[in-house]
Structure 1
């Protein structure tokens, strides 16, 4: 009878032989990259676990070129021409990889999909299409007054807590407060109530912390998706992994309360997205309670952390570049936005989006620090695919583009693409109108902040409206400067590239 040691050695040798055989015979040998990455997905797992994988990818592309191997069956590309191939507007040939299934939820013996985890395109369309009209800019602006109320509360809390008479400076952890604001904004238009983050100045129910832990889990384990079956989705053993169960519970509680008429909400005078979702079921009886919870939870999970990440990026870089902040102040003063904010008047998005420098600042914040900073993985179809340079990708190969890499493509955004420079989005003195439109169109087509194509972020219009309002209001009300201008923020890339350690001083602006 074989001893345990002999058995383990035999299995190890068998695994080694299999790994080497796979490496030597793989059609992806022609794609360069780290040697260990070509042997095992654990290289990618460990890289993502460290929270700087987007920086690793940038370095790899600088070293190896537009196609880099990240795993035995996984590559990343940076050719802008591939954006519309991998992420088309019509029914895609390249479906999502198993990475996304880590965002599914186990409910008893059932597995419930999140909005991003559907890999079956028909099922995804059936899920999102009924509610799509609520997420257009017009749909979002139905709730503009409610957004304005939250932004007003945000400014009031900042002034009350961090601005003192006589010029005494109080440190404001603006990263936390932008996060609180983002969560309360999405709650206001979804449930007609806020979470209480701004009023209490804390992480209510631990929702933010839980969201961060769940993202940490999904980002790393998603590199080896079968692990999730044994860990995150194990029915018999509950491992202590990050989940968003409190967020799901909150969404379900609000839905149940509304359906029972317990929240004293008047849908005739103050409709919200939850009313919209419930109305869908009257139109289509096939829409289940689970689907309604999916809709509500999608807002909570995807509509808060991403917006917070973008808000922090814009604020941080405006503080790092004081001359840019000064120019924004000047525009807001010149058009009367600053006076309106200081007078307590509501800002209208229809006026804000027309401001060229504010728009350039926000677009540049999106570009230089997109919320999503891991590859948006897709699977090569049965036909295989030939890259523009002639290299062949066999069926089943995982291929993706990382927004945090493509958004700094020097051929599109310029040799200074690593710098925060809003002026790149404006017409310069040396180009014609046609040249500017062509350059601007190329940048917009390449910018993957919200993804691209049929699976583009459904809530992008919500985020854009919120961000315009918060940035215009914040920099109308205050001068914002870093406590330590030489100190860089801290970041961790867990699919969403979150940031912290952004202490600032706020000085109230006067007319």
Structure 2
């Protein structure tokens, strides 16, 4: 006691030490009180995560957070506390409640990092807009252009790029004098990126961006976009940092944002207004820029050029990388499971689809149940969005399946990688790539199959759900179905190193590395 009194006496005699000590005790006291007083105290999770979001920021920066979440759920159960006000949920049955059409489960600020600054103004998009009324108003003028019917009208743009994709691959990597086993390996993942970015350029501006023809990321846009996505993934843990790093009006600290894509979009819009793109733009075959300008004309009071740029940018950023992810998934997992690729080729042949028909028409390939099953299973096993989708609990709270009630304004996260491996939903083979799970079983009644299929789609939630379902779903799937079917009927394809596993890095979208293939024309 005497030593304690002596220590306190010394503190009182030193104002600086006293102030430091008081500050330390105040901070510690604040966090201890917050910890014990929190209504989320009952939920298990990593110790540091209960005090600060820096824990999650650091874990996300490691690029393997989907695997870490899977391990945390295995340790703690279906509800894991991963932040002071954040719970990650492994209850697939809750998806329909949260991702509904009412929009009462608000998106969190985690999505604001996809905004960009154009001419000093922050431009929101249909992905980042949090206000449900503003989101509906922004989406309404263009929704019809992304419907299945609307997307079908732009198929000729995709056909041109698929033809170019095949030509470039054959010119660079195919030797018709050699079998596929002796072909030159190449990075299919990289060329998939070139394909999807060029398709988005063609769909949006009537002009491929030039990555296929040049065979490189010649202007750095793809690399910048990857860095921007990595940055965006980090911000989901602490969105407030975006103001200081990217939206700082005094001095932008970085890292690279989506401004490069914004510049491309603005330039194409200006060229269209001035008629400077007539060398490649045909008004008889409209693109998305045409459609967006049409929406502006039809809605002059609510749509301006900033809104048009916002639509163009979300086409570019969300359309290219997510579509490339799905294509790489389908090709990698199908080739790793040879019976899957063999059955796909057999089904294509049975439908009378051959290399002479390439690029294959969307209507024909969409009629193949097994191709659809491959795509669905690819998205289940490795979703196109691999960080958790977050929502605020609405007024009144939410009762979970364990009987507990989560208070309003708590953030619930739903990680599709984790949900896609829930054994109660998917069975003991949840870790296995098995497209057949999406097909009708022998003896299964039609009504029972439709109900099971609906439940699987709800659990997998590959394109989100409810009022926030992915606007570009049909546009992306068109590119995926057509190019995968074209590859299967036109080429012999093998993994260059079938014994190796590829590497997946989690940056909100998964970045797959190590997809090298050998390819030869089918005879």
**Fold match, TM over 0.5?**
yes
The alpha-carbon distance between structure 1 residues 2 and 181, as it changes in their structure 2 partners (threshold 3 A), is farther
The alpha-carbon distance between structure 1 residues 441 and 240, as it changes in their structure 2 partners (threshold 3 A), is closer
Under a length normalisation based on structure 1, what TM-score does the superposition of the two structures give?
Answer: 0.95
CA distance in 1, matches of 2:113, 2:283: 39
Query: What's 2:287 paired with?
Result: 272
**Alignment size in residue pairs:** 506
Contact map agreement 1:371 1:498 (CA 8 A) in 2:
no
Query: What's 1:461 paired with?
Result: 474
Query: What's 2:299 paired with?
Result: 284
The alpha-carbon distance between structure 1 residues 330 and 72, as it changes in their structure 2 partners (threshold 3 A), is same
Alignment partner of 1:63 out of 75, 79, 102: 75
Deviation at 1:203, TM superposition (A): 1.3
**2:424 aligned counterpart, secondary structure:** helix
CA distance in 2, matches of 1:347, 1:475: 11
Query: What's 2:7 paired with?
Result: none
Q: How does 1:200-349 map to 2 (within 5 A)?
A: 200-264=214-278, 268-286=283-301, 287-337=303-353, 339=354, 342-343=355-356, 345-349=358-362
Cα-to-partner distance string for 1:109-151 (whole Å, 9 max, x where unaligned): 4222132111111111111110000001110110111211111
1:76 aligns with 2:88: yes
Under a length normalisation based on structure 2, what TM-score does the superposition of the two structures give?
Answer: 0.93
Query: What's 1:438 paired with?
Result: 451
The alpha-carbon distance between structure 1 residues 4 and 200, as it changes in their structure 2 partners (threshold 3 A), is farther
CA distance in 1, matches of 2:284, 2:449: 45
Deviation at 1:432, TM superposition (A): 3.5
Cα-to-partner distance string for 1:76-123 (whole Å, 9 max, x where unaligned): 112122112211112x21111111112222335422213211111111
Contact map agreement 2:162 2:359 (CA 8 A) in 1:
no
Structure of greater Rg: 2
The alpha-carbon distance between structure 1 residues 153 and 4, as it changes in their structure 2 partners (threshold 3 A), is farther
Contact map agreement 2:174 2:520 (CA 8 A) in 1:
yes
Deviation at 1:175, TM superposition (A): 0.2
CA distance in 2, matches of 1:502, 1:371: 16
Query: Which range is displaced more, 111-120 or 23-32?
Result: 111-120
CA distance in 2, matches of 1:8, 1:503: 57
Deviation at 1:429, TM superposition (A): 2.6
**1:481 aligned counterpart, secondary structure:** strand
CA distance in 1, matches of 2:338, 2:177: 23
Query: What's 1:102 paired with?
Result: 113
Contact map agreement 1:307 1:463 (CA 8 A) in 2:
yes
Deviation at 1:346, TM superposition (A): 3.8
Gaps of 5+ in 1: none
What is the Cα-based RMSD across aligned positions, in Å? 1.7
CA distance in 2, matches of 1:163, 1:258: 38
Contact map agreement 2:229 2:508 (CA 8 A) in 1:
yes
Query: What's 1:42 paired with?
Result: 54
Query: What's 1:364 paired with?
Result: 377
Deviation at 1:7, TM superposition (A): 4.8
CA distance in 2, matches of 1:142, 1:12: 64
The alpha-carbon distance between structure 1 residues 426 and 485, as it changes in their structure 2 partners (threshold 3 A), is same
Query: What's 1:137 paired with?
Result: 148
Deviation at 1:6, TM superposition (A): 5.9
CA distance in 1, matches of 2:500, 2:193: 21
Query: What's 2:39 paired with?
Result: 27
